[in-house]
Structure 1
Amino acid sequence: MSGFGLSPTLPKPGSAPADRWGWFVALGIVQIIVGVLCWIDVTAASIAGVVILGVLLLIGGVFQIVHAFTMRGWSGFLLYVLIGILYVIGGLLLMEEPLRGSLIITIVIAVMLIVSGIARLIVAATHRHMQGLWLVILSGLVSFAVGIMLYASLPWSSLWVLGTLIAIELVFHGIAWLQFGFALKRSHRA
């Protein structure tokens, strides 16, 4: 890190994160509220998630192209420019057609769940001698079944899957920040 003009510093005794536990609690509350709002309208959250992903791809693509031109003599120049262009195109397409983007992302999620479920079942079949294998089998069956159900309910599942996942992530992450903030408060008092 020191190459960027930044040097790691340890917090001073009076400026430890425990002194700012309220910020973590506030962050947790905000994330829980936003998560609940996403849960109320999962379709809007799905579309917003796809648009945000498109913006991030666009920004990443621009940075990729700029980085490639700063390293012109590098042997991977053309590949980096092409990858950057693909990111930009993908980002623009997601922002222009968020419903189609949501459909494609849901298909990818469904396929990943099906493949990971099958992989877990194969692992369980090849390691039959191990104890507690029923959890791996159950996990594989659940992943496989959820993937099949998502795929079977397309295109409708693409309207709620991403929004639901975003809502769950925000609520649980918010709860984690709340717990962390209150733990800091308790440690600060002690």
Structure 2
Amino acid sequence: MSTYPPTLSALAPKAINWSIALSILLILAGLFAVLIPPFSGLAVTLIFAWAMIVSGITHFVFAFKTHTTGGVLWELLVGAIYLFTGVYLLLHPLDALIVLTLILAVYLVFEGIVEIIQSFQLRPRHGASWLLFDGVITLILAIMIWRSWPASTVWVIGTLVGISMIFSGFSRLMLSLAAKRALNQSV
């Protein structure tokens, strides 16, 4: 006779196994993204476009829940901008990918500069040199993207998203395996 709801100890092994499976899928998807960056870059653009459309619709819904005239107008305006942008991105995904690549390059320039400044502010502390290293590498990547733009559009977004997915998958997998070992030791 089973009890309802299931106990935490009964759910934990299933959750850990699902986490391991999803981690492996994330790693495989990341490898796919790195191996075929133009396809994955366009996929990221289309996902971003749909996210903008959903955000626009959400703002329209919130507009009717807002009880002030200014709030309604503001929500309608923001919703229209999100919706228009999302639809435009869906209709022109290659142009959107080109613009996203340029925005990424600009973002990386600012991130690299901030990391370098922070490394000098933290300089007497242990590990500040790693922040300097990170800032320099980030600036080099930004310059590589910028100098080869718009040709860099073909590889940048897909490759970086793929690398991020691989690292996220591995970290999730390691955490899941550690949780599985801890669960097995406690039983």
TM-score when scaled to structure 1? 0.83
1:154 counterpart = 2:149: yes
Q: Aligned match of 1:78 in 73, 76, 87? A: 73
For the structure 1 residues 48 and 17, does the alpha-carbon distance in structure 2 shift closer, same or farther, using more than 3 Å as the test?
same
Q: CA deviation at 1:182?
A: 1.9
Identify the residue that residue 95 of structure 1 maps to in structure 2. 90
Q: CA 1:115/1:87 → structure 2, altered by over 3 Å: closer, same or farther?
A: same
Q: Distance in 2 between matches of 1:120 and 1:20?
A: 37
Following TM superposition, by how much is the alpha carbon of 1:74 offset from its aligned partner in structure 2, in angstroms? 5.5
**Cα deviation, residue 30, structure 1:** 1.3
Instruction: Specify the SS of the correspondent of 1:76.
Output: helix
SS of match in other structure, 2:149: coil
| 25, 31, 34: which one aligns with 2:26 | 31
- Residue 173 of structure 1 corresponds to 168
**Counterparts in 2 of 1:131 and 1:38: CA distance versus 1, 3 Å:** closer
What is the rounded CA distance, in whole Å, between the counterparts of 1:139 and 1:78 in structure 2?
44
How far residue 82 of structure 1 moved from its aligned partner, in angstroms, is: 0.8
Across the aligned residues of Structure 1 and Structure 2, the Cα RMSD in angstroms comes to 2.3
Q: Which amino acid aligns with 1:179?
A: M
**Consecutive unaligned residues in structure 1, runs of 5 or more:** 1-10
Partner AA of 2:13 in structure 1: A
Residue number in structure 2 paired with 1:8? none
Shift of 1:125: 5.1
Q: Which amino acid aligns with 2:43?
A: A
The one-letter code matched in structure 2 to 1:182 is L
1:1-190 correspondence runs (5 A): 12-73=7-68, 75-124=70-119, 132-190=127-185
The percent of aligned pairs where both chains have the same amino acid is: 27
Q: How far does residue 139 in structure 1 lie from its aligned partner after superposition? A: 2.5
Aligned pairs, number: 181
